[in-house]
Structure 1
Amino acid sequence: MMSLASCPLVLIGAGNMGGALLSGWLKRGVPGASIIVIDPRPSDTMMGLMSEAGATHLTEAPKNDTTAGILFLAVKPQLMDAVLPPLKPLIGPQTVVVSIAAGKTLAGIEAYLGKTAAIRAMPNTPAMVGRGVTGAYANETVSEPQRSLVETLLKVSGPVEWVATEADIDAVTALSGSGPAYVFYLVECMAEAGRKCGLPADLAMRLARETVAGAGELLHQSPDEASRLRKNVTSPGGTTAAALSVLMDDNGMQPLFDKAIAAAKKRAEELAV
């Protein structure tokens, strides 16, 4: 897929998101020998994957004169201040830094690593099953070849959408980054409503889970807009229309989601450092 022999792909953190990326890269043909993973305590699964692929595993930043071609930061935001300083020797003129840590601005990263080509990306947890979506912003130092290469690497977990400003990443975080939790809570609410209508709790949960999973797959595969798919299910005067008259009321789901996502965006802005 690519040649990173002289300037390797360095992944910092092989947890849920980092591990999903690593697995996707190897499946898509990135040679393991070109990958360095720095993680003090990777899981047994990740250790096995790295060993089988021939990737290099380190518990800390290398002491030699290694220069990263791409430096992927996949650690929790609260760990970044401790993780970043030892990584500065890895930065060279051709390095592009990619951060998937929520709340850590490019300015905050550059305070430790210096001015460099850098990209902020916000994937979401369905990336762990190859069905995520990532919002990304590239600073002015990122070249088109670097941007294209990073997009290819991010696409192993799903589509990539580029935004015009770094501030837009806060909105991406609120919508798609946190979004899976909203969908999971929808399943909880549907199941509880089914239980209150008389269904056994376990049956109600199975029906809710499969309904949301199936509707998501239909949305994924269909060329139709979400509104068209909704209308296709809704017969005039029928049961779906009765439910939607409540959900689409002036006090229904839209104003509630407006408030919820605005609250998430505000919190993302507050956390930005």
Structure 2
Amino acid sequence: MSPGAEKRRHGAGARVIFIAGLCLVTLVFAGLGIWQVQRRSWKLDLIARVEQRLTAPPVAAPGPAQWAGITVAADEYRRVALQGRYLEVPETLTMAVTERGPGFWVLAPFQADAGFTVIVNRGFVPEGRRAPDERRKVAGGEARVVGLLRLSEPDGGFLRANDPAAGRWYSRDVAAIAQARGLGQVAPYFVDADAATEPGPLPQGGMTQVSFRNTHLVYALTWLCLALMSAGAAGYLIRGTPEEPLES
């Protein structure tokens, strides 16, 4: 076989491998695009369900018998109501960034008449007004709380871990807060009090930020465009000028 024929043979083999690789990449890109379309459908359904929960009448906050079955998809942002009293335990301030600027969420333990303890997020206080005498006192008296059920936020936040010993909290980790305050077992969720429960001025309730990142359509179009481009490149190579017959 002449040197030219040997070169063409190697070139043809490399071309076949390259076309096969493009076909594989096309399948991967198309699969990712279809997955993003499915994720978008799931996200839109979740948003619709949450919007219904935000305007629904409040239901009784779930008790211990229901705690194991609580999930984000089924329960997050559900409007709930509690009747009972706040415990005379120091409130816990967790870092917050809101439309009013930086500050803290005020978390207080609430003993429900049904016999269990829930951490209630009473609302927001600005950074310079965190002192207890700056906000309305509630401990000891009978109270009704209406708000949104939120699942615990373990592992800290703002790229920082909670430091209970130093009293620095970056997320609303109810289990860690309960342990630090000696509360025993508490609900695996907290309740964001609404503006009717905590009308302000301090703390200010009803400031839950309900938003969902939904960029699945952009990702789907990106992946599907890449799939079309790689498929086009493979088709171009397949339809290319045939190789000259190999010499023996």
Range of TM-score over shorter length: under 0.3
Could you tell me the TM-score, scaled by structure 2's length?
A: 0.22
Higher RCO (Cα < 8 Å, 6 or more apart): 2
Bigger Rg over Cα: 2
Q: Which has the higher helix share?
A: 1
